[in-house]
Structures are given as C-alpha cells and as structure tokens.
Amino acid sequence: MATPINRIEKEFYLKVLGDEKIPVRYLKNRTEYILSLVNPVKTELTFRPGKPVQGLHTGEKMNLSFNYRGIVISFPTQVISVKPDYFTTSIPQSLYKNLDRTYLRVSPPEDFQVQYLFLGERYTLSYPKMSEFEWEKTGGEAFTAVALQELSGLTSQLSGILKKITSGYQIVLFKDKSPESMEELVITETGRMLFLPSSQGKWPQEDPFPRARIITEERFRRYLEVSGVGPMYLDEAVTRFINNKSNAGILSDAWVPLLFYEYVIGYIHAWQNKDAKIPFGNELINTLYQFVNVLVNSFKLKGDFAAGKIKNEPFPATVGDISASGMLFTLPRSQLALALQPGSLLAVKLIMPRRAINTNIKVVRRYKSNAALYFGCRFLEMNPEDIRFLFECIYGKPFTDSDASFLQGHV
C-alpha cells in the first residue's frame, strides 16, 4: 500500500537521500538506471546517472524510488534540464512509502499499445447517478435468461410477502421526479439501503452483509457533513432523524434503491408502524433486494432502457504508467470518460512485441484535472504466463519467485 509522507518526513528523506548517497532507481523502456542525488535540496534536484538515460528530455515525467532501511520510498517528478553528465528535476510535491511492493509503476515501453472496450452493456440515462458505483452491486446483468412473464410472477409473489411482513410499502421511480427528501438523496448518493431497524434504538453501526448493502451511522454522518452539517451538530442531527421516525409512528424503516448499472432509477420504501410491535430484521432486507432485482430486470426486458443503450466500440486512451498488477490511463473529459466510475470493468488488449494479452481491468480510482480524467486500474484474473510475459516486457528483466510479492501492491 502506498502511504503519503507528511512534509517533515519528506524533507528528512530528501536530505538523507543526498547525505547518505542512497541510490535512486529509474525504469524506462525496459532498462533500469541507478541515479545519485548530487546537490543539496533547494529548488530542484540534480541527479547523476550511472549510465546515460536514453531519450531523456525536458518536461518528461519520471517515477523514482529508493530504499531507506528496508522501506521503499517513491515519488513522481519532472525533468527541468538535461546535460551530458547530469539532469535536474523538480522538487516532488509528495513522497510515498510503498509498504507492500518492491517495484514502481513505470512509463510504458515505446512499442506498447492498449485497446479498451467496455465490459458488458453501457447506457446513458437521465436518472440520477450514484457516486460510489461498484459493478457487483447492480442488477444490470441478472435474470437475463428469465422471461418477462416469469419476472411478473416473481414480482407478485414478493409483493405478497411484503404485504404480510410490513405495515406498508411503495415503489417510487425517478423517471418524472428528482430525489428531494434526505432519505432519497442519501440512497442516491451511496447506492445503499437506508435501514433503521428500530426507531427506539440506534442507527446500525456495522453492515452485516458480505457486500456493502446498508448505510451505517458512520456513512450517514459523512453524508451529513458533506451536506453542510457541522461536526459539532452531527450527534444532534442523527438523533433528530431517528426521533422524527418515532414521532411519526414508525417503528422500522427501509429505503432500498433500484440500481441499474451506475444509475438509481428509483426505490422501494417499506415501513413498520409502532402498533405492529415486530421490527424489521435481515430477512426483510433479503426479500427487498430480491424484489428490486426483479423489478429492475422487468423494466429492462420491457425495453424501458433500450433508448439509452450505447453501442459498445473500442476506444483509445493514453497509458500514463503501468505495472504487472495494474495501470493508469488518461481520457479527455467527455461523455465516455464520465461514464467510467470506480468499479467499472473494461476488457483490454495489451499489445507487445511477439505477443498480445487479452484480460479485464477494474477501475479502482479516478482523478480529475481541468481537461482530463485519470483512471487507476487493476488487472483481473490474468494467467501466470501472461503475468510473467508482461513483467518481463515492461521491466526488461526475468520474473523470479521473489517478484511474486510485487503483484500484491496497490495500483
């Protein structure tokens, strides 16, 4: 895991880098260069390479690393000037401790190419988008082989169950309305269920499910802070929310978003009145999640989303850097780029001399700039021979057993 270093530590590491003559590594076009820092750290860094760095030019971005007492420190920098025996770079804004990996991401070799394709279907819809999209959460690909008639039967069956175990429920779609209430806004933001087991108790502290399904108190507090509630008023806001439910005669409350890929198309709201005396349990959550999956796929089979389906074609993107476990690529701001969220899956073809590798990647981070979006991705399910070939292609050295630990690093 790469951990940012604070300002004081950064100054310390840059000082010892020069004082103790610690070798700095730089990888470019399958070649490793060993650099020495030769000037005191002021406004720029001056490095003397053990051998000339081929093709180095002013403005080039570099990822450098060094080992200090068993800890690998990495930092990005940019070339300011190039002389015959040395070159200068900018002072890095940040240094990172790489606690569980030995090698850095490197610039891709010049003869390396990548082709990208969205994995599965893509849609552009007018429904609100969740900000924490994860592919596994949605029902976009479920029930694809089930007939609409069967789904209608399941809908009736689940509706009958809900009538027996709740005081009431309603289905609300965002087709002709936007999220307005706090409940609507928070489930749209997170893509998770707002579940209050009892208005006589506390907000859920933990999510009991293997995959995140409900909004815990900690996540609700984060939402309130982003919404403008000051830290000193958070306790009061959480308590007031629960008390309002109790004052309205509600014992249990559940708001479950209807998810279609990154879109929240609506929700099911189910509640239990105080006179029922039996609060909701996990059984209700499972029933509601079955219900929302059936509903979403019923809408899909009826063609409700057909007009928003996008033709899936390969698209180009610029590779910023790459490792044997993941890569960073860049896209200009566009509708296509905005459709890529953390959790999105892509099929990629890595084209190298003598071989091409077909694999899938998952977007795990997204960064923004004024003109572009940057996507940090992790390779998924690459077979051992492809990993070995990729490693040797980008690092220019044989893959050894000790290198396997590198693949556990974050992208």
Tens digit of each residue's pLDDT (9 = 90 or more) over 383-402: 888 888 888 888 877 777 65
Asked whether the CA dihedral 152, 156, 162, 163 is positive or negative, the reply is: positive
In the sheet with 250-260, reading across from the earlier edge strand, the strands are: 168-173, 263-273, 250-260, 194-196
CA distance 46 to 51: 15
Residues 240 and 93 in one domain: no
pTM > 0.75: no
Residues 159 and 261 in one domain: yes
pLDDT of res. 385: 86
Amino acid at site 229: V
Residues 248 and 332 in one domain: no
Residues 207 and 295 in one domain: yes
pLDDT at 339 over 80: no
Tokens describing residue 169? 């429920």
Bridge partner list, 362: 345, 378
Amino acid at site 185: L
Residue 217: Cβ within 10 Å count: 14
pLDDT of res. 135: 52
For residues 346-369, give the mean pLDDT.
88
Q: Is 182 exposed, middle or buried (0-12, 13-18, 19+ CB in 10 A)?
A: middle
pLDDT band (50, 70, 90) for residue 343: confident
Is the distance from CB of 128 to CB of 260 less than 8 angstroms? no
CATH number at residue 52: 2.30.110.10
C-alpha gyration radius of the chain: 26
N- to C-terminal Cα separation, the chain: 9
CATH number at residue 401: 2.40.10.220
Residues 284 and 332 in one domain: no
Residues 147 and 291 in one domain: yes
Q: For residue 393, what are the domain limits? A: 113-120+312-408
Tens digit of each residue's pLDDT (9 = 90 or more) over 137-158: 444 444 444 566 777 777 888 8
The number of C-alpha atoms within 13 Å of 24 and in the hemisphere containing its C-beta is 26
Is the distance from CB of 91 to CB of 104 less than 8 angstroms? no
Three-state DSSP class for 226? helix
Tens digit of each residue's pLDDT (9 = 90 or more) over 1-53: 456 777 778 888 888 888 888 999 888 887 889 999 987 777 899 999 999 99
Tens digit of each residue's pLDDT (9 = 90 or more) over 230-281: 989 999 999 999 999 999 999 999 999 999 988 999 999 999 999 987 888 8
Is the distance from CB of 297 to CB of 109 less than 8 angstroms? no
The gap from C-alpha 211 to its chain's centroid, in whole angstroms, comes to 15
Residues 87 and 148 in one domain: no
φ/ψ (deg, to 5) at 3: -110, 125
pLDDT of res. 153: 79
Residues 89 and 150 in one domain: no
Is the distance from CB of 267 to CB of 258 less than 8 angstroms? yes
In a domain, residue 130? The reply is no
Three-state DSSP class for 198? coil
In a domain, residue 129? The reply is no
Amino acid at site 395: Y
Tokens describing residue 210? 């293997």
CA distance 210 to 137: 11
| Average pLDDT of every residue of the chain | 84
Amino acid at site 15: K
Residues 362 and 319 in one domain: yes
Residues 77 and 173 in one domain: no
Is the distance from CB of 214 to CB of 235 less than 8 angstroms? no
Tokens describing residue 239? 């308590």
Residues 317 and 302 in one domain: no
Three-state DSSP class for 43? coil
Three-class SS of 336-397: HHHHCCCCCEEEEEEEECCEEEEEEEEEEEEEECCCEEEEEEEEECCCHHHHHHHHHHHHCC
CATH number at residue 298: 3.30.450.40
Is the distance from CB of 400 to CB of 388 less than 8 angstroms? no
CA distance 63 to 42: 20
Bridge partner list, 319: 329
Q: Count up the domains in the chain and report the number.
A: 3
